[in-house]
Amino acid sequence: MQYMALIYAEEGYQANYEGDLMADYGQFGQEAMAAGVFKAGDALMPVSDASSVQVRGGNTTVTDGPFAETKEALGGYYLLECADLDEALKWAAKIPTAKYGTIEVRPVMVFDQ
Amino acid sequence: MSQTALALAFKADSGRVLAALIAQFRDFDLAEEALQDAMIEAARTWRDGRTPSCGSSWLLAVARRRALDRIRSSKRANDEIVLQNLNLLAENQPDDEAAQEIPDERLRLIFTCCHPALAEEAQVALTLRTLCGLTAREIAQAFLVPHATMNQRLTRAKAKIRNAGIPYRVPEGPEIPERLAAVLSVIYLIFNAGYAPRNPALSAEALRLCEVVHHLQPLPETSGLWALMRLHMARDPARFTADNALVSLKDQDRSLWDHAAIARAKTRLLHALALSRPGVYQIQAAISALHCEAPSWAKTDWPQILALYRALYRLSPTPVVALNSAVAEAHAGSPTASLASLEALRPELDGYQPFHAARAELLAQCGDAQAARLEYDRAISLTSAPEERTFLSKKQLELP
């Protein structure tokens, strides 16, 4: 199954990170690739660069900012190929930001042919 | 034989049969439907005067066939798991049915039902539905929620297991303590749901589940929980008066306790403690055992109980454990010191009935009847259970 690991944290937590965040992410990425679970992954620009789009009754409304204004923001994601939820949760726990924020794990929907 | 009588006859085994079906087909709903089909077929066979050769193996074999029939006529027919099962079934000769051992899949299943990715209330409901064979209606009644709510809770939990890929497996290595803790916590919740309002069937189910977990994977904490529940149940005959009034531990007629059961629980607990891997259930059971072996409230080994509560607090630093520790402190030494310990807990426990009941009792002991009366008022205002209200009012009236 494919799982999306969504990385949420307070923006700016990086300043308080103990250790080398980039190096830790580098190591995580290598580990996940070596294990064959890595499908894709990216970091996102901050919510100050986010725009939200809605279409209602044929009209498109674009607003500045993220969908939900919360203290913790989506900062990046990994797409992981895992046998089951336990394996996905195990990998999610290894994501360096898990120590500071929250990793939301969502199965990727599969559509019937 | 009626449908109900038949269901009862199979009840002991139905959890095991259902677990085997779920493990095989990875589908709760299909397994439940197939078992239901098999029950109906069993009723028909028995009515015709033919007795199935071997109760639960027969039931499992029939249910498996019914499940496959259902799959063949559905769109799942090309699933990988389904294909495996169709092949498996083709290899099995019908003559083998009676001799077949039912694989015990209940341990895998209980870890699935108690997976931390499910909400705790869903864990409890799913465990009762699949491992204890209770209907959604029965579970709804036990937890005082509408039938429709319980149905929805079960449906959602089953959907999450399927969609999120929650596995059917027994956890290994470093995961074990956390996952076992979740299972034991669900069992204890089931027990308490049966114990407080006296629904003995539910408490008995909890004890039985604990036996299953212990049998399949013996660990000291499982024994600790078993002993704790067994000790609670042993005191049950003395917990209420004939007219259903609550009797405090202090005033219980200790000759009514089931002393044979207490002895068995203590033996099991001592074996667990000897393994030197203490945990919250073992410690709580040890406290309960000290109460059970005391000839009276006054002759209870309070210093040891206090030491155990302090050990419990180190593992589980909650305000409620601190409250119990403070109460034990009063009995072990000076009530004045205990009142000071309690005072420190006020910010966290001010809305908690037992906090005020404990303070009332201590104030009375220290001779401050006026303050005790006010604390009883506060405790009474915080309880909704009629028997507790009666109990507290009686205590208040006994003040000088």
Its ipTM equals: 0.78
Mean pLDDT of B246-256: 92
Site from B112, B166, B176 to mutate, A interface, most A CB atoms within 10 angstroms: B166
- Give the model's confidence band at B99: pLDDT under 50 very low, under 70 low, under 90 confident, else very high: very low
Kindly determine whether residue B167 and residue A1, on different chains, have CB atoms separated by under 8 Å.
no
- Rounded to whole angstroms, the Cα distance separating B308 from B325 reads 9
Q: Which residue in B121, B175, B199 sits closest to B153, CA to CA?
A: B121
- Rounded to whole angstroms, the Cα distance separating B389 from B395 reads 10
pLDDT at res. B92: 53
CB-nearest to B167 from A3, A84, A107 is: A84
The whole-angstrom distance between B22's CA and the closest CA on chain A is 16
Distance from the first to the final alpha carbon of chain B: 63
pLDDT at res. B4: 56
The answer to whether the CB of A1 falls within 8 A of the CB of A79 is: no
Mean pLDDT of B67-72: 88
pLDDT at res. B143: 84
pLDDT tens digits, B130-183 = 888 788 998 998 888 999 999 999 999 999 998 889 998 888 888 888 889 999
Angle, CA B171 vertex, CA B157 and CA B312 arms, to 5°:
90
Chain B CA closest to residue A110 = B163
pLDDT, averaged across chain A:
91
Kindly determine whether residue A85 and residue B171, on different chains, have CB atoms separated by under 8 Å.
no
pLDDT at res. B102: 64
CB-nearest to A107 from B164, B169, B171 is: B164
Chain B CA closest to residue A105 = B164
Mean pLDDT of B321-347: 90
- Predicted TM-score (pTM) of this structure: 0.81
Cα B289 → chain centroid: 19
Residues of B contacting chain A (CB within 8 angstroms): 115, 117, 163-167, 169, 171, 175
Whether B235 has a pLDDT exceeding 80, the answer reads yes
The answer to whether the CB of B164 falls within 8 A of the CB of B42 is: no
The whole-angstrom distance between B104's CA and the closest CA on chain A is 22
pLDDT at res. A62: 85
User: For residue A89, which residues of chain B lie inside 8 Å, CB to CB?
Assistant: 117
The whole-angstrom distance between A5's CA and the closest CA on chain B is 13
Site from A2, A86, A91, A108 to mutate, B interface, most B CB atoms within 10 angstroms: A86
- Rounded to whole angstroms, the Cα distance separating B83 from B63 reads 17
- Give the model's confidence band at B12: pLDDT under 50 very low, under 70 low, under 90 confident, else very high: low
Measured in degrees and rounded to the nearest 5, phi and psi for residue B330 equal -60, -45
The answer to whether the CB of B330 falls within 8 A of the CB of B338 is: yes
Whether B361 has a pLDDT exceeding 60, the answer reads yes
**What residues contact residue B96 under an 8 Å CB cut-off, 6+ apart?**
none
Kindly determine whether residue A84 and residue B165, on different chains, have CB atoms separated by under 8 Å.
yes
Whether B100 has a pLDDT exceeding 70, the answer reads no
How many other C-beta atoms are found inside a 10 Å radius of the C-beta of residue B364? 21
pLDDT at res. B95: 44
> How far, in Å, are B183, B223, B294 from residue B213 at the CA level?
9, 10, 31
- Rounded to whole angstroms, the Cα distance separating B291 from B302 reads 9
How many residue contacts between A and B have a Cβ separation below 8 Å? Answer: 26
Site from B161, B163, B168 to mutate, A interface, most A CB atoms within 10 angstroms: B163
Longest Cα–Cα distance of chain A, Å, equals 50
